[in-house]
Structure 1
Amino acid sequence: MTGAFDLGPALLFVPGDRPERLAKARERADAAILDLEDAVAPDAKEAARAALIAADPDPDLVIVRVNAPATPEFARDLAALARTRVRRVMVAKAESAASLAPVDAYEVIALCETARGVAAAEELAALPSVVALMWGAEDLVASMGGTSSRRDDGAYRDVARLARARVLLAAGAFGKAAIDAVHVDIADLDGLSSEARDAAASGFTATACIHPGQVATIRAAYAPTPDQRTWAEGVLAAAAGERGVFRYEGRMIDEPILRHARALLRRAGA
């Protein structure tokens, strides 16, 4: 029923009540996330659902984020989705396997953005319908009564770093993709670049963003450098004539390092 997560690294959120932005988002980013949750005011949600039905967006390039299962909006969102071709759904504030049962006919991205959701990351990743996990920093800290996910220097607080790592590990344990959280400081492209490079090197498949101006930075961060690609091609070529552990450019090479090289070439599209 469900397939692997096969979209590119830059996923752009679009407010559900601004459907005129959807086409541009699809053109600029690797996929658009049409948001029926936080980006839409309570009194505009019904209009956003009507816009979703009218747009009937491209099922290959659009993900729809629905409201949390614990809210009455969730069932209304699903009723609207049933009238479209959408097949990928991001569930806000996912917290249990049972809560995702109503969307098991879709390819599900479980958004772990509460303390309970992060604690349930392994349970969510184990579901056959789940193709990816994403984490969210601000809602997570708010769910615990905190006021900021970052320190004054812009670095994530320890609790956010722990949540990020736990979601990544849970996704990896079950062979699912992991999506990194948005960088809310739109002007801070250097900070975004640093975090996206770390995400790619750590094993994240994609990074979500909230502004078209962030897309190019994310794509560049996920793309291997020319030197990285040359090394990956070289070490894999050398491995073809070797058995077991060998040396390449002064470094010991074994199977985990070869997997790193293959991952670099996958990101390069080779």
Structure 2
Amino acid sequence: MSTAQPASAPEPFLLGPAMLFCPADRPERYAKAAERSDAVILDLEDAVAPADKPAGRAALIEHLDSAAQDLLERTVVRVNPAGTDAFAADMQALAGAAPQWIMLAKTESADDVQAVTERIPKVPVIALVETAAGAAAVQAIAEHPATAAIMWGAEDLIASLGGTSSRGPDGSYREIARYVRSTVLLAAASRGKAAIDAIYADIKDAQGLAEEAADAVGSGFAAKACIHPAQVQTIREAYRPTEEELEHARALLEEVSKHGGVFQFRGAMVDGPLIRHAELIVSRATV
């Protein structure tokens, strides 16, 4: 039986809201990706062909050895799935490089997270849940002490189920994708971990991205991943409250100290959850 204690709310997550993927074998893009995003995910998995992975590891190690500390603090390294030869090579290369964040592709169990920490102790792990097995084990993954956040992925998930697309003809997620998205968010939050929303693959559809990012904000995702620099500002704008939202939240919070419990504000009853909502809105004002 697990001895983990439930958390009341996720800890602040410092890598968002827009996390941009960059292939690890394209070091000429590292600096630009970092400049244009809140955090950069240097990818050793799907973005790099098998034959190019050794060159990607070499470029990545050189970067980790020479980059400034403030950049390293918002650099995530996505490694290959635990149990694969590519994962073993990633761990061997990274063991002496002291990455400050690891994203584990296709995490399917707490043992997968443990496989990272056994080779790189104390590194915070972003568990990427993108298979049926990972979705089924997400609560145990969230409970592992090295898990700092959980991200979900749609297309690999659907492939693992034998499907062909995560979205229906109207562009919205299929029911199973929505279920896993919600499950990841719940599992992460129940253990005080951040949840990261999946990428939006249609780079040209800024409106669709804006709507999905707004839903991620409203639902409680701490950040959203993206695959192109043009998507960063759209995500940031979704996480930044409007002037009206911010004014309302600040005014509500000013009233809290004047009341001992539930109170009425601008025609609505306000209690603890609504106060927390206002606090979160104010906290996003600097995004």
TM-score (norm 1): 0.97
What CA distance in whole angstroms lies between the structure 2 residues aligned with 1:202 and 1:5? Answer: 15
What CA distance in whole angstroms lies between the structure 2 residues aligned with 1:166 and 1:8? Answer: 21
Matches within 5 A, 1:226-237: 226-237=243-254
State whether residues 158 and 164 of structure 2, in contact with CA within 8 Å, keep that contact through their aligned partners in structure 1.
yes
Segments of 5+ residues of structure 1 without an aligned counterpart are none
Shift of 1:101: 1.1
Amino acid at match of 2:80: N
Query: Does residue 238 in structure 1 map to residue 255 in structure 2?
Result: yes
Amino acid at match of 1:218: I
Query: Does residue 162 in structure 1 map to residue 174 in structure 2?
Result: no
Query: Does residue 59 in structure 1 map to residue 67 in structure 2?
Result: no
Amino acid at match of 1:199: A
State whether residues 52 and 80 of structure 1, in contact with CA within 8 Å, keep that contact through their aligned partners in structure 2.
no
Shift of 1:84: 1.7
Query: Does residue 247 in structure 1 map to residue 264 in structure 2?
Result: yes
State whether residues 224 and 267 of structure 1, in contact with CA within 8 Å, keep that contact through their aligned partners in structure 2.
yes
What CA distance in whole angstroms lies between the structure 2 residues aligned with 1:180 and 1:99? Answer: 21
Query: Does residue 7 in structure 1 map to residue 15 in structure 2?
Result: yes
Amino acid at match of 2:140: E
Amino acid at match of 2:215: D
State whether residues 59 and 85 of structure 1, in contact with CA within 8 Å, keep that contact through their aligned partners in structure 2.
no
100, 105, 113: which is aligned to 1:100?
Answer: 113
Question: Match of 2:45?
Answer: 37
Any idea what the Cα deviations from partners look like across 1:42-101, whole Å, max 9, x if unmatched? Answer: 111111111111211542021000000031111110111123231100000001111211
What CA distance in whole angstroms lies between the structure 1 residues aligned with 2:163 and 2:187? Answer: 24
State whether residues 126 and 148 of structure 2, in contact with CA within 8 Å, keep that contact through their aligned partners in structure 1.
yes
Amino acid at match of 2:272: E
Matches within 5 A, 1:251-270: 251-269=268-286
The alignment-based identity, stated in percent, is 53
> Which has the higher relative contact order, 1 or 2, with Cα contacts under 8 A spaced 6 or more apart?
2
What CA distance in whole angstroms lies between the structure 2 residues aligned with 1:97 and 1:66? Answer: 16
Moved over 4 A (4+): none
State whether residues 210 and 234 of structure 2, in contact with CA within 8 Å, keep that contact through their aligned partners in structure 1.
yes
Query: Does residue 19 in structure 1 map to residue 36 in structure 2?
Result: no
Amino acid at match of 2:201: V
State whether residues 16 and 52 of structure 1, in contact with CA within 8 Å, keep that contact through their aligned partners in structure 2.
yes
Q: Give RMSD over aligned pairs.
A: 1.3
Report the number of matched residues.
268
What CA distance in whole angstroms lies between the structure 2 residues aligned with 1:116 and 1:268? Answer: 37
Amino acid at match of 1:42: P
1:68 aligned counterpart, secondary structure: coil
Amino acid at match of 1:61: R
State whether residues 224 and 264 of structure 1, in contact with CA within 8 Å, keep that contact through their aligned partners in structure 2.
yes
Question: Match of 1:77?
Answer: 90
| 1:264/1:218 CA distance change after superposition, 3 Å | same
Any idea what the Cα deviations from partners look like across 1:235-269, whole Å, max 9, x if unmatched? Answer: 11111101111110111100000010111111113
State whether residues 113 and 147 of structure 2, in contact with CA within 8 Å, keep that contact through their aligned partners in structure 1.
no
219, 224, 227: which is aligned to 1:207?
Answer: 224
Query: Does residue 181 in structure 1 map to residue 198 in structure 2?
Result: yes
Amino acid at match of 1:78: M
Amino acid at match of 2:177: A
What CA distance in whole angstroms lies between the structure 1 residues aligned with 2:212 and 2:229? Answer: 17
Shift of 1:4: 5.7
TM-score (norm 2): 0.91
Amino acid at match of 1:162: Y
Question: Match of 1:142?
Answer: 159
Segments of 5+ residues of structure 2 without an aligned counterpart are 1-10
1:54 aligned counterpart, secondary structure: helix
Query: Does residue 87 in structure 1 map to residue 100 in structure 2?
Result: yes
State whether residues 4 and 131 of structure 1, in contact with CA within 8 Å, keep that contact through their aligned partners in structure 2.
no
- Using the TM superposition, name which of 208-217 and 5-14 deviates more: 5-14
2:284 aligned counterpart, secondary structure: helix
